[in-house]
Amino acid sequence: MSQYYVPEKAPTIPWDVARRLATLGHEVRVLTGYPNYPEGRIYPGYRQRWRGRENDGSVDVLRVPLFVDHSQSILRRSLNYVSFGLSVATARRFARDVDVIYVYATQMTPALGPWLWRLTGGAPYVLHVQDLWPDSITGSSMVSGSRAERLMSRVLNPWLSSTYQQAAAIIGIAPTMVNTLIDRGASKGRTHLVYNWAGETAAPEGLIDRGERPEGATVLFAGNVGDMQDLETAVRAAHSARESGIRLRIVGDGVALPHVRALADRLGAGNVTFEGRVPSEDVAQFYPSADHALVSLKDLPNFRGTIPSKFQAALSHGVPVITNVQGDLRALVENHGLGFTADAEDVESLASAFRAAAAQSDQQRAQMAARARRTYAEMFSQSSGISAIEEILVGAARGGRHKRGIDEGS
């Protein structure tokens, strides 16, 4: 169960899980929407119908309609999420004889159908939570501080608590997220930590030969250039640390790009370059020339339990990180020696991290790169993540397909 699925340019985790479980001998069905992300337009070759059936290898895929949108409008974005949840709820026949339902929850609305079905004797479901609700929407610039924020919290919190309690298992992607889910009603014995893995751009085994390096250091930011990424701080920090030989390369597009680019021009930050939008399959070509990857977010409470996917992507390519994301990500980087950390939204703190990166010797960089790849293989690889998810799903299925609800601690 996922709002996003191939060919959409979205996280590949649902596709990775479906294809791998099918390869392992499980019968897999996918219930998803019509592809429209991230542009907010239905992909060529697709037309929304009440039901659309296709095959992805041996995986049976059913597509249901949804309100298509990817704007900054609160109402339209809410309709996008809710319409998919309601469409899913009408497709119970597709899930009538399954043993367990895996819900990939970038938003929580895909859980609406499985939750309703479970209340009436349906199959157990496992939630794979990617973003905490309602935090991720009430904390956004679209909603924060408004009457809509208070209304959403009052409406969503009771339903979310019930959704957590009815779940056969819940998967969080960071330690703080797991603890928060437990605080909000999830069973401690049924809540698990499974780190996300890098997508299809992950590098092959073995460290990349980076060849001759110029003086200083090249820092790569690859991803969405949005308000939450706080790249204004990064541009100011790179400009402040320009004497160290630091170079900031920004690959990607987003609503904040014009402002960030204008800031670099206004500062005269010649050590900041912009590559613009690049197809996701081409992002990998930028890692070999990078000494570090920047993982940057604003200092919001829900981000302390978030590990952005660009962190795993960098490690998979043997590229250490520089981050100002507080909480779990900062602890991971510091505890495992995976790069440099800075305080959130603090120009001089990030500039100091840039200077430290630029001052590294070739040997120090090679050692840090080796730790990055080793840590990825041990903690963040696709094989270890899907194995953990498979074990959780099998355990949930064994708990009884027609058991109504699940007793605390079972």
Say if 405 falls within a structural domain: no
Average pLDDT in the 72-98 region?
Answer: 92
Q: Are the CB atoms for 214 and 238 separated by under 8 Å?
A: no
Which segments of 71-201 are extended strands (E)? 101-105, 125-129, 169-172, 191-193
Q: Which residue has the tokens 């401690």?
A: 188
Report the alpha-carbon distance of residue 262 to residue 324 in Å, rounded: 22
Say if residue 348 is in the same domain as residue 304. yes
Check whether 140 has a pLDDT greater than 60.
Answer: no
Say if residue 392 is in the same domain as residue 375. no
Strand pairing class (59-64; 52-56) = antiparallel
Average pLDDT in the 335-364 region?
Answer: 98
Cα 160 to the center of its chain, rounded Å: 20
Report the chain's mean pLDDT, rounded to a whole number.
Answer: 91
Say if residue 155 is in the same domain as residue 262. no
Instruction: Name the amino acid, one letter, at 310.
Output: K
Say if residue 167 is in the same domain as residue 249. no
Q: Are the CB atoms for 71 and 40 separated by under 8 Å?
A: yes
Question: Long-range CB contacts (< 8 A, 24+ apart) of 179-184?
Answer: 179/305, 180/132, 180/305, 181/129, 181/132, 184/160
Say if residue 119 is in the same domain as residue 246. no
Instruction: Name the amino acid, one letter, at 226.
Output: G
Which two three-digit tokens encode residue 135? Answer: 């935090």
Which two three-digit tokens encode residue 217? Answer: 């250091």
**Structural domain total, the chain:** 2
- 281 or 384, which is more confident? 384
Here the CATH number for the domain that contains residue 355 is 3.40.50.2000
pLDDT digits (tens, 9 = 90+) for 150-204: 777 788 899 999 999 999 999 999 999 999 999 999 999 999 999 999 875 555 5
SS3 278: coil
pLDDT digits (tens, 9 = 90+) for 364-381: 999 999 999 999 999 999
According to the model, what pLDDT value does residue 146 have? 60
Q: Are the CB atoms for 287 and 220 separated by under 8 Å?
A: yes
Say if residue 323 is in the same domain as residue 357. yes
Which domain does 336 fall in, by range? 217-379
Say if residue 87 is in the same domain as residue 176. yes
The pTM is what? 0.85
Report the alpha-carbon distance of residue 233 to residue 323 in Å, rounded: 12
Q: For residue 229, report the phi and psi dihedrals to the nearest 5 degrees.
A: -75, -15
Query: Any idea what the Cα angle at residue 224 is, between residues 194 and 246, rounded to 5°?
Result: 100
Check whether 321 has a pLDDT greater than 70.
Answer: yes
Q: Name the strand (E) or helix (H) holding 144.
A: none
Which two three-digit tokens encode residue 175? Answer: 């330690």
Check whether 314 has a pLDDT greater than 70.
Answer: yes
Say if residue 95 is in the same domain as residue 28. yes
Lowest mean pLDDT among 106-115, 303-312, 319-328, 401-410: 401-410
Say if residue 239 is in the same domain as residue 369. yes
Average pLDDT in the 242-270 region?
Answer: 97
Say if 83 falls within a structural domain: yes
